[in-house]
Amino acid sequence: MEITSNTVLPATREDIELHTADGQVLVGELALPESGTPTATLITLHPLPTHGGFMDSHVLRKAANRLPKLANLAVIRFNTRGTSSPRGASTGSFDGGVLEQHDVAAAVEFAKSRGLTNLWLVGWSFGTELAIKYGPDHDISGAILLSPPLHRASKADLLRWNQFAKPLIAFVPELDEFLKPREAAERFALVPHAKVLAFDGEKHLWVGESATRRVLNQIVQEVNPSVGTLPTSF
């Protein structure tokens, strides 16, 4: 069976709630390998909810649908405050990336409470701003940034990663309308250990199965390289 955009591979899936320090309840899903201990955990942070981003944004949904089975990864997805999806609505209101610091904290604490380890923040667009700003506050292995716009994350936020010294890996589409690879390399130069990977021919939204496969393969290469290239059929 060819793996397509709608393929959902076997995993143990659970609807979850995250409880923030300021009293919000965030709805989400935990997807785990069917057996054994996950090699790593992806805590995903979705694109801008005021522009259609939510826990089901397609790359994040496909990561949860595929990677527990194909790469032995746990995947946590959730709606940040004020965001709705078919899973339900999280309480609170969008705060432009400020109070969302509590959302990130709640997701990390949930993962730890379940005994999950090797925690990686995986942000997409707006989600990358949260990963950059708040990743250094937590015991994580690193952060992967899909299409980082660097609109809300400041120089000071980036400079914190020099003391944090954990991997900061940016996936930058060649045709991104917000931040292209050359400018990304210049701006991430504030963090000498940061890695900027250019994806030729791709756009901010990573549209199409080819783009999805490139992203998921590179995520796996970063967090569980022993898996190798992901299969295209199952």
Per residue in 196-228, pLDDT (tens digit) is 999 999 999 999 999 999 999 999 999 999 999
For residue 40, what pLDDT band results from cuts at 50, 70 and 90? very high
CATH number of the domain at 33-225, please?
Answer: 3.40.50.1820
- Give whole-number Cα distances, 151 to 67, 75, 95, 141, 189, in Å: 30, 26, 14, 24, 16
Question: Is 144:222 a contact under the CB 8 Å cutoff?
Answer: yes
Q: Where are the alpha helices (DSSP H) in the chain?
A: 58-71, 100-113, 126-134, 155-164, 181-188, 209-223
Q: b/e per residue, 181-200, with b = 16+ CB within 10 A?
A: beebeebbeebeebebebbe
Per residue in 3-22, pLDDT (tens digit) is 999 999 999 999 999 999 99
Taking the C-alpha atoms of residue 144 and residue 166, their distance in angstroms, rounded to an integer, is: 11
φ/ψ (deg, to 5) at 169: -125, 120
Read off the tokens for 31: 């997807």
Taking the C-alpha atoms of residue 207 and residue 14, their distance in angstroms, rounded to an integer, is: 27
What residues does each domain of the chain span?
33-225
The per-residue pLDDT for 11 is 98
Per residue in 140-190, pLDDT (tens digit) is 999 999 999 999 999 999 999 999 999 999 999 999 999 999 999 999 999
For residue 108, what pLDDT band results from cuts at 50, 70 and 90? very high
Largest CA distance in the chain: 48
Pairing of β 12-19 and β 25-32: antiparallel
pTM (whole model) above 0.85: yes
The per-residue pLDDT for 213 is 98
